[in-house]
Chain A
Amino acid sequence: MHTMPFDTVLIANRGEIAARIIKTLRKLGLRSAVVYDEVDARSPAVSMADTAILISGHTPIAAYLDIAQIIAAAHKAGAGAVHPGYGFLSEQAQFATAVIKAGIAFIGPAPETIELMGDKIRARNFVQSNGFPVAQSAIEEDDPATFVSRARAIGTPLLVKPSGGAGGKGMRIVRDVDALEGAIEQARSEGQRYFGDHRLYVERYIENPRHIEVQVLGDSFGNIVHLFERECSVQRRFQKIIEEAPSPALSPELRKRVCETAVGIARAANYQNAGTVEFIFDAGEFYFLEMNTRLQVEHPVTEMITGIDLVAEQVYATAGRELGFAQSDIVSNGHAIEVRLYAEAPERGYVPTSGKVLLLEYPSGVRIDSGITQGQQITTAFDPMLAKIIAHSPTRTLATATANHAIQGVILLGCETNASFLARILSDESFVRGQFHTGYLEENPHIAAGNPATGLSAFLASAALLTRQVRESADAVPALHASLGHWRN
């Protein structure tokens, strides 16, 4: 066993990622502590952790954003390090700073790095000034007076983005240049509302690009490696649904170029810990989109093809250890596909769903990162992601078939999910051929809509046969039929 400067790690998160982090901590011989809101009392992470500490807030989300309560919990649990997971406080430099000030290690890059990459305009300028490609853009604060005219000069289509933005919130596409000023005002008010930041920039909007990102890993000795790319183009409203590695769109030359670009950006930022550089890819060209200074939801596909446990590497980097492998040691093996199981109904405009999990069973033969358990109430208080199903096979065709078979084997009764929608994507010809882009689901609305008649008679037959009253009224008839039968004989 390697010696670590800490023996307990507090996870400032919930759901599947908290459970997934606990698994690695156990493997490393570390104790795990979690904070949890009351609504999560029955969640897997709470039962798996060595210590679970109740926190509260005026909403369940507010509890997980309460820095003071989380640091107090870390002290109470005797935690020497905090893992922020993804979302919540994971990309808030002030959280990382507060953790470090409390004498606890933060599992992530330095607060200055989080701050640099968290400000989309600063990050973009930083990347451009280091000689890496970014999409043509106009930044308001460079000269507010000429912002609109500079944006017009780029030419439509344009994408108006809040500087503090994330997850597609507040972003607006402008196709008609006359609509630009209206879109700027709307994006400004949304940016203010969501992020408390009114600053904007306008970027050339690339129609139907692919979203490709590169996993990087850095240590405190200046070593930086990449763990290849992930293809994340199957999205709805800028929300990823299916991710895979490797990308079916890249030639070996393009793969080498984008991975080396990502390493270059990480090196320029003196990046330490796990991070992801996101790119827009179109017509053989890459443009820097943003860098996420945390573990990504879709990190398992990278783990499957490389065999490297990213959470373990994050812990090692924080513990001050040197990377245990060089770039040439990292080999991509086979193909991995992750599908995200959401509590939502794609058939009805992706509305969030809720309910008590009455029956839950997962298929075997695939990796399942689950944040739910049977008996748990699914509420709309949090992000609707319930679990991730990750298939790893020698080829993309086999991985697609394995993922498809697996998602159809997920038995979750009591809360409607997007499972059959995921199966429809995995069966769609464009997906199977690897030909899709970020506008794929909008261009193919029939995939989300489904066909309400599919298999209906089997469901009606089951309902009829399972309902005592329906069976009884049928069984009341045979007496008559039977006697008639005898009479005829």
Chain B
Amino acid sequence: MYHSVEVDGVDHQLWLSPCQSGSYHLHLRDHVISPVAFAQYGENSGVLTIAGETERVRFVIEGDLIHVHIRGMTRVLRYSDPLRTLACVKQEESSLITRAPMPGVVVTIAVSPGQPVSAGAALMMIESMKLETVIRSSQDGVVDRIHFKEGESFEREAVLITLSKERR
């Protein structure tokens, strides 16, 4: 199963498969890097082994965000959990609620209350860690409530938009 990791606004599909004890093959879309392994020392540091080279890594995990420092470069990577997306599709009720995947600020709102939307329609644009992300509807419905105004900030998991099943 591919996992999705976003860096600088670009989605990268990847997955790991087991290699020798404790190490893995890293499968990227067009190539495989192996072996890769990570030995963690302390709360925020570790050593990455990648294709025979080692890199000292400093990191902080903050929800879905992984802040990483390697060799003088710092990047923020965001992991999208495929299971969570799956769970939302299964549960009819919860899918009516769109939650914030990370803390951020509302940039633009694309819909208004009472407006019918179909699955995949853009609901709002948010900004977090300087990345702009479009929040899309997971199913068909009618916009019931928009919980934040443009420019307002919200925490992770905050309810952004509530849909209703039927047109009132």
Contact = CB atoms under 8 A, between A and B. Distances in A.
A423 B70 CA distance: 13
Contact of B67 (A358, A454, A455, A470): A358
A470 B59 contact: no
Interface residues of B, number: 47
Interface of B: 1, 3, 5, 7-8, 10, 12, 14-18, 24, 26, 28, 33, 36-38, 44, 48, 50, 55, 57-62, 66-77, 79, 81-83, 129-130
Q: Is the interface of A mostly helix, strand, loop or mixed?
A: helix
Contacts of B70: 455, 458-459, 462
Contacts of A481: 18
Interface in A435-489: 452, 454-467, 469-471, 473-475, 477-478, 481
Contact of A474 (B24, B57, B58, B68): B24
A348 B24 contact: no
Given A413-B69, A462-B57, A465-B24, 15 more contacts: A359-B44, A408-B72, A412-B74, A416-B129, A455-B70, A459-B68, A459-B70, A460-B26, A462-B59, A462-B66, A464-B14, A470-B14, A470-B79, A473-B1, A473-B16
Interface in A40-77: none
B134 to A, nearest CB: 19
A461 B50 contact: yes
Contacts of B8: 452
Given A351-B130, A452-B8, A420 B73 contact: yes
Contacts, number: 143
A452 B72 CA distance: 14
A437 to B, nearest CB: 26
Nearest to B129: A355
A413 B3 contact: no
Contacts of A384: none
A411 B38 contact: no
Interface in A355-396: 355, 358-359, 361
B76 A474 contact: no
Interface of A: 345, 348, 351, 353, 355, 358-359, 361, 407-414, 416-417, 419-420, 423, 452, 454-467, 469-471, 473-475, 477-478, 481
B63 to A, nearest CB: 12
Contacts of B79: 463, 467, 469-470
Given A416-B130, A461-B50, A473-B15, A467 B3 contact: yes
Contacts of A466: 38, 59, 61, 66, 68
Contacts of A456: 7
A217 B43 CA distance: 48
13 contacts: A413-B44, A414-B60, A414-B62, A423-B72, A459-B7, A460-B28, A462-B48, A462-B66, A465-B48, A466-B66, A474-B18, A475-B18, A477-B18
Contacts of A470: 3, 14-16, 79
Q: Which 9 A-B pairs have the closest CB atoms?
A: A408-B72, A474-B16, A465-B38, A413-B67, A463-B77, A358-B60, A478-B18, A461-B36, A413-B60
